[in-house]
Structure formats: structure tokens, C-alpha cells
Homo-oligomer: A and B are copies of this chain.
Amino acid sequence: MKIAVLNPGSMGITIAAALKFAQNDVYWLNKSRSPATIDRVRTLDIHELGSLNQLGNMDGIVSVCPPDAAEAVAKQVSASGFNGLYLDANAIAPDTATRVAQIIGTAYVDGGIIGPPARTPGTTRLYLSGANRVQVQSWFKGSVLEVVCMDDSPNAASSVKMCYAAYTKGIGALILAIRALAKEKNVEEALLNEWNISQPDLPGRSEMIAKGSAAKAWRFSGEMREISQTFESGGLPGGFHQAAAEIYRRMSDLKDVPDPSLAQVIDEILCA
């Protein structure tokens, strides 16, 4: 199968590698062609498409992009004359997935990726739902990316991704916000002493969360807004993840800061 991965980032390039491993003919297309993307693609021997117009020759497309861009990418693909299967593997709300499905039509397959970039078997799962899910599953046969086929719902894979990231990325933002609050209220020492007694994992976890999320916070923010919208569309309060979006937004300038400390992260959060 000829399959194109659009905008391959650190996750997308491992999706492309999995597709290649499963004997597909893999292409990539990224209008921005940032140095980081070029570096990533060079490590794999895959074909570059010069323009959106060449998508018409593809059997399949995988969209892996920041959640804010998912609809715009779908519109570009829809206008390109492409008529294969379209896997949207983005961290988007089920309502957003439904809108992408309306743009793409019957070729839409809903996806959600859980885990880090897929380099080792067992770490990373691609959830799929929708009518063509089994066909898309076959694209990844034998690769390190485990595929979990759900039902034919056009947005179940996005829903499970939203629920999952609501915890992992929500709790990260909450812990960093609490560290910032303790500093602002001048009770850091007392809080850390208490945590050392009764929540002994939290001092170390806050350090790890700061280091692990600083470079990625710029794109977590949009994902948090999608999760907030998911809660609200389900009649549940969206405030947890509106707040998480704001915390990650304040951290977005740390994107290119090498190895920032927790203290730096707290300062970014407080200097809104």
C-alpha cells in the first residue's frame, strides 16, 4: 500500500517506521520542512511528496499533528483529490473527530495513540474505530505499534484517548500548578515537608513532570482544550482541563530550553 504520513513529528516518524516495517510504500509530506523534521525523515528511507496534489496517488493517509490543526489538515487533504482511507490519529475531542469525519467522508477512520513514540514493542497502542478500522489495522501488521480495534463508532478511539490523557496530562498540570501556588503563597518548605511525610512520591514526581513536559507543553495546551470540550459535551465540568491548558500555555516558551529545572518551570507559570 502507498501510505503518506503528514507532518511527521517525533510520534509520526515512528508511525511511518511501523508502516514501512509492515511492507508499505511510505511517503511523507510536510509543508514546513523544519530542520527537525528533515532530520527525523533522513533516518528512515521514505519518499517525500512535493505537494498536496500528489496525495491523489496514495492508498492511505495518516494525520498526526497538533490537535488545533486536525481540521485544517483534513480540509487540505479533502481538496487534494485523495480518495483512499484517512486515519486521523490525533488527540482530538470526539466532536472534533466527527467534524473531521464530515470533511473526509466515508474514508475516515478514527484513531488515538496512547504511549510514547513507538520504538519498543508493548509501549504504544493505536486505538481504531469506525467502519474501515480492520483495513487500517492491517497496515501495521507485525510492527512495534500495537493496534486495538474498537467498534464502528466514528469517534470511540478519540474518546478513549481523551479519557486517558485527561489523567496523565491533567495530573501533571495540577501538580505543577500546586508547586507554583506554594511558591506564590510562600509555603513551599512546609508543603514539601508535609509531602515528604504523607505523599512521599510527590516531591520527586513534580521534578520529573517539569522535566518531562517543559519541551512539549506548547502542544499539550491544545490537547487540554480538546479534553475540556469533551467533558463539557458530556455534561461534565470542563474546568480541570481549561486550567491545565492555561498552565501548559504559560510553559510554552520552554519549548527550546535545554533541560529546564523545576524552579524555571514554576517561574514561567507564575510570570503569566
A interface with B by C-beta (< 8 Å): 94, 114-115, 125, 127, 148, 150, 153, 156, 159-160, 162-164, 166-168, 170-171, 173-175, 177-178, 180-182, 184-187, 190-191, 193-195, 197-199, 202, 230-231, 234-244, 246-247, 269-270, 272
Contact = CB atoms under 8 A, between A and B. Distances in A.
Contact of A231 (B114, B177, B187): B177
8 contacts: A114-B198, A150-B190, A159-B182, A162-B181, A167-B199, A185-B234, A231-B243, A237-B243
A234 B184 contact: yes
Contacts of A114: 194, 198
Given A167-B174, A235-B270, A246-B237, A230 B190 contact: no
A164 B186 CA distance: 14
B272 A160 contact: no
Binding site secondary structure of chain A = helix
A180 B231 CA distance: 9
Nearest 7 CB-CB pairings of A with B: A239-B239, A239-B243, A237-B243, A159-B185, A184-B234, A237-B246, A239-B242
Copies in the complex: 2
**Listed residue (A181, A184, A231, A242) with the most chain B CB atoms within 10 angstroms of its CB:** A181
Contact of A269 (B168, B171, B198, B236): B236
Given A171-B174, A231-B177, A194 B160 contact: yes
Contact of A171 (B171, B234, B241): B171
Given A94-B185, A177-B231, A236-B270, 9 more contacts: A114-B198, A148-B193, A163-B178, A163-B181, A167-B202, A171-B171, A184-B234, A185-B234, A239-B243
B163 A167 contact: no
A165 to B, nearest CB: 10
Nearest to A179: B163
B235 A177 contact: no
A160 B197 CA distance: 14
A162 B186 CA distance: 12
Contacts of A195: 164
A148 B235 CA distance: 42
A114 B174 CA distance: 19
Given A167-B199, A174-B170, A199-B168, A181 B231 contact: yes
